Chains A and B, each alone.
Chain A
Amino acid sequence: MADPLLRLEDLRKHYGGLAVTDGVTLEVRPGEIHAVIGPNGAGKTTLIHEVSGLVAPDAGRILLAGRDITRLSAPARVRAGLARTFQITSVVPGFTALENVALAVQARTGSSFRFFRPAAAEPATNAAAMAALAEIGLADRAAIPAGALSHGEKRALELAIALATRPRLLLLDEPLAGAGPEETERLIALLARLRPAYTILLVEHDMQAVFALADRVSVLVYGRVIATGTVGEIRGNPEVRAAYLGEEEA
C-alpha cells in the first residue's frame, strides 16, 4: 500500500469546555476520494479549517506526504500542495472569472513581487487560466465579473481556482451545498473526472454524492472518527447506522 498523502494524527481542538475535534486520526491515500460525513455539529468544517491552516489545533499532527505541516501558515500549506474550497463560496467578486484563476496561476508561476509589467497581459498566465476554466466548463464566462456569476458557476470557479494551484490534495468543504438537482449532477460528474489525477478529502452532507464518488468514507461524530471504510462497509456498520444513517432513509 502506498504511503498516505495526508495523515492526521490525534488532532484535538476545543473551544472552552467543548471538544470540537476530539482525537481525530485519519489517512487519505494518493488518488482516492475520501469523504468525511457526520451529523451537524460533528466538527467537519473545523477539521477542514485545521487541515488547511485557518484554525490551529491544540494538539496532534498533520502530515502531507510525510512532511509535518502542523506549524505552517495557510498560504504556506497551499504552496506545499494543499488547496481547498470553502463552504461559503469565496472568490474575488470584482475580478472576472479569468482574472480569479489567473491570480492562482500567477501565485504558482514566478514571483508576485513584480511591479512594472501589466499582469493582465501575460500570455502564459492567461492561457493557463483559460485552460483551467475550460476544464471546468466556464470558458464562455471568462470575461464576466465573478460577482455576477450564478451560485453554481461560482462554485465551479472556486474549483477551477483550486485546481490552478496544481495541488496534490484537494480539500472540498461541502461543494454541493445549495446546489439544485441539475447542478448537483454536473458537479458530481466534474468531481468524478478529477480522480485519479487529484487526491480529494471531501466533506459533504449529500449522501447521493458521497456514495457515487467516495472510495472510502470516514464518519465523524462529536469530533471523533467512529468508523472508516468503503461505502459498503460504512452502510453496513451498525454503529454508524445508530449514530447517523439510522436517523434518515439511507
Chain B
Amino acid sequence: MDYRAPVEAYTGVVREITIGKGNKSLKIGGENILPFHFFDQGSNPNPARFALEVLDMKPEDWPEHAVEPYRDVISDPVAWAKKARGFGVDAVSLLLVSTDPAVKDSPADKAAALAKEVAGALDVPLIVYGSGDEVKDVEVLSKVAAACDGMNLLIGPVLKENYEAVGKAILDHGHTAIAQSPLDINLLKELNVKLSKFFPAERIVIDPLSSALGYGMEYSFSLIERVKQIGIMTKDSMTMMPIIANLGGECWKTKQAKENKKQGLLWEGMTAMSLLLAGANIVVLRHPETLKLIKETIQAR
C-alpha cells in the first residue's frame, strides 16, 4: 500500500493586514496554515517581512560593531532610515527612545515631527514604537498619529494601561496598532478583546514581547506558537492577528551580542529564525548583516 502523508486543513485565517498607503504599502499575515507547513492545505500569501531599527537619538550603549554600519548617519535619524532602507528591508522601525522620561524626556512634538519626516523620506512603510512608558506614550503616540494623519503607520506599543487613549488616536488618524502584552497569552487575548470593542480587529498586530536567545526566548517561542495554533486551528478571533517580533533591541542588550560581532549576528539571527519558525509575520532587527544572513538562510530552504 502506498504511503500517503496526512494533509491538514484548518478553519482559522490570520487577518491580512496592510500597513502603509498606496505604492508604499505592505501586506502581512493572511495565512491559514501553521508556520512553514506548506505541505498542508492552505497557504501563506505573505512571506516573512523584515524591518530594521532606527533610533531617534544617537545610541549610547551600542557596541562598536553594531554602530559600524551606520557610523556616518548615527546622529541623523532621517539619513539613518534611508540607509537602513538601502539594505533591502520591507519596512523601517523608528524607536522613539529619547522620549522616555528616564532617558531624555524629549518632547512629543519633536518626536511627531521626526516621525513625519522619516515617513516622508521612505518608499516603504514606517513602524513607530514609543518608549514603552505608559504615561508619556499617550502624548507621544497621539501626536505621532496626528502628525502622520492618513499614512497608515504601524504604531505601538498599545498597552493594557493606555489602550483607550492610544488606540483612539491611532484609529482617528487612520493607522494600524501594535497591541503589546507581557508574555502571557491570557493577557494578550484580554487586550485584544478590549481594544477591539472600539478598534477594528483588522488593524491590530500582536506584539507578544520577544525575548532573546538565552534570556527567555523559549517563552516567546511557545507563546507565538500557541497564538498561531489557537487562531488557525481553533479559530479564536482574538488571536487571528499577525505577529510582530521586535527583537533587535533585546538581542543586542545581551552580553554575548556585545562581546563580539560574529556572536552578535548569530545571537540576533538565531532568535529571529526561531521566532519566525514559531509564527512571527514581521521581524524587527538591528544589524543589517543579520538581515542578510536570515534572508540567505530562508532562500536556501
Instruction: Please say whether chains A and B are actual partners in one complex.
Output: no
| Residue positions of A touching B, CB distance < 8 A | none
